[in-house]
Amino acid sequence: MQIKQIIVLIFLFFVVACSSKNTPDNQPLTPTGVNNTINSEQTAISDVIKSMFVEDSYPAEIMTIGLPGNINERANQITLKMQDSIKNNEEWYLTTLQSLKKGAEFSYDSRLGITEEEYSFILNLNDHMKLIKIGETTIDIQSENKNLNFMISNSSVLKNFAINLAKNSINADLGEFSYSGKIVASDHQKITGRWNGYSWRLEEGYSKAFQISLGQFKNNNKRIIYIKLLEFGKESKEEFLIF
């Protein structure tokens, strides 16, 4: 079996093995704390958004979820050991993987080529996840009629979008995003820290799903913009903009 195929199997292994574990506080298209009941008081929401995001030009940090360098290095080393062992135990691995029910954990076995402690370390990598700075940008916010326009100079995901305060929707080159719920600060937001906000979605059947969330941190009043883009057959893209 080719190395590329082995890597795919390693990925499947993590999906199955970690599915019952705690996951990061910003799930793809479902940030922690989202209340999916649509808020009919659009005026109240627009007032909060306008108070959070005042017209101005702001320096911002571009962040992503990742592992600290030393943790990431150890995870890579363990994964390489596991790849080598699975190549020598391919039949056992595939049979075991196929027998697992959705959500079931892949039990430790010495044929994985790693120690039980290393296996536990891999399963609990989410405990080490954190926001890591990957760049800087400028965010220009301008009010125009009933729109609040956002221009993000260095974003690699989405450079421009506008909140229609009257309709409580978001317009971007991708299309129109519909309001999907309120984000409530909670202790489950372990990676980002506690923040309140709102979320909008754009879905195109089963092939595309996009999300934009905006809010404010509880502890320091900094603002946060979270953008997630998923397209079938393409690598997902996401950014956290904090300013």
Cα angle 126, 236, 200; round to 5: 90
* 123: enclosing H helix or E strand: helix 116-123
CB 175 within 8 A of CB 202: yes
Phi/psi at 137 (5° precision): -155, 175
pLDDT tens, the chain, 243 aa long = 443 333 434 443 443 343 334 334 444 344 444 554 444 556 789 999 999 999 999 999 999 999 998 999 999 999 999 999 999 999 999 999 999 988 888 999 999 999 999 999 999 998 899 999 999 999 999 999 899 999 999 999 999 999 999 999 999 999 999 999 999 999 999 999 999 999 999 998 888 899 999 999 999 999 999 999 998 888 889 999 999
Q: Domain residue spans in the chain?
A: 3-22+68-128, 32-66+129-242
